[in-house]
Amino acid sequence: MGPYNFALSWRLFSAYAAGNASERGSVAIWWDGKPTLLYLRQTREEPPVIELIADPMPARAREFQSMVRKMLHADLDLEPFYRRARRDKALRPVVNALVGLKPVRPPDMFQMMVIALSEQQVSMAAAHRVRERFLSAFGARAGRLFAFPRAADIAALEAKDLRACGFSARKAEYLVSLACKIAGGEMDIASWEGMADGELIDLLRGYPGIGEWTAEYLLVRGLGRLDVVPASDLGVRRVVGRYLAGGREPTSAEVRELLAKWSPWRGLVAFYLLAHHRMATDGRNWSLPT
């Protein structure tokens, strides 16, 4: 199904994955009640295939593969997006430089909530360090990596336990409360599947700790709702300003206007702009392994 640049996609995903994933294609996840280490790589055959090795090989192999396919957006066809983007002066060089890039999403929505809450307000570097401490304290070791703790694991903790990782007292309370709601069934993630983006954003915003930014972030990054944009996101505002508005820094309302014409790929456009800008500026060596 169209191009897939796994190495590039994984590098962007793993850059801030703390101790959960490595740059070379491994990631620790929970499966069948056990912390499991996965290795992923793309073969050189034509067409390329994503090879998947788990240690130990997991139960329910078919379900397992389906979960991995979701993580990788394996069923996303980029071609319609590229056809549209290549007709646009601003987007053409961006997509041409990043052909085959897809977002990688965490396998678990509670994990995505931990990531989102950790990234509220503070720098990516600060959030990254907090998650490292969180993982080493409460994660489940799989090889040299850690699987994120599940909601039920965190539901059993006190807010002060999370405070010790560097979460603010309020974020710590929100995370324990969210964990309790998921573990207790009050928050039914399976039921989100059939809901429209806007409806689901409104639902999520009703939970303490989840504001507009977080709700939108959870949808696009955690659920793969690629038309959703966290328009108030500072990074999004900056790249949309840089690539689509002559360099000034737009408000979130202006971001929504500037991206309106990209539906149903508004979130994907923001992702591509962020990726392109990061690779151009952050000093990391983004060149792919040979």
Partner DNA sequence: TACCAGGTAAAAA
Partner DNA sequence: TTTTTACATGGT
Closest CA to 13 of 91, 55, 66, 72: 72
Element (H, E) at 40: strand 34-42
**Nearest approach, Cβ of 34 to DNA (angstroms)?**
30
Q: 68 vs 231, which CB is nearer to DNA?
A: 231
Q: How far is the CB of 221 from DNA (least distance, A)?
A: 7
Cβ proximity to DNA: between 92 and 205 the closer is: 205
Using the structure block, give the residue that is written with the tokens 């560097």.
Answer: 166
Residue 249 near residue 232, CB atoms below 8 Å: no
DSSP code string of 126-138: HHHHHHHHHHHHH
**In angstroms, what is the minimal distance from the CB of 274 to DNA?**
5
Dihedral pair phi/psi, residue 287, rounded to 5°: -65, 145
Q: How far apart are CB 210 and DNA at their closest, in Å? A: 6
Kindly tell me which of 197 and 212 has the beta carbon lying closer to DNA: 212
* Distance in Å, CB of 17 to DNA, minimum: 12
- Residues lying near DNA in the complex (CB under 7 A) are found at 119-126, 129-130, 163, 166-171, 205, 207-215, 217, 230, 232-236, 270, 274, 278
Q: Of the two residues 65 and 128, which places its CB atom closer to DNA in the complex?
A: 128
Q: Which is nearer to DNA, 30 or 262 (CB)?
A: 262
Alpha helices of 25-101 — where are they, by DSSP H? 61-71, 79-85, 91-97
Q: Are 103 and 4 in contact (CB under 8 A)?
A: no
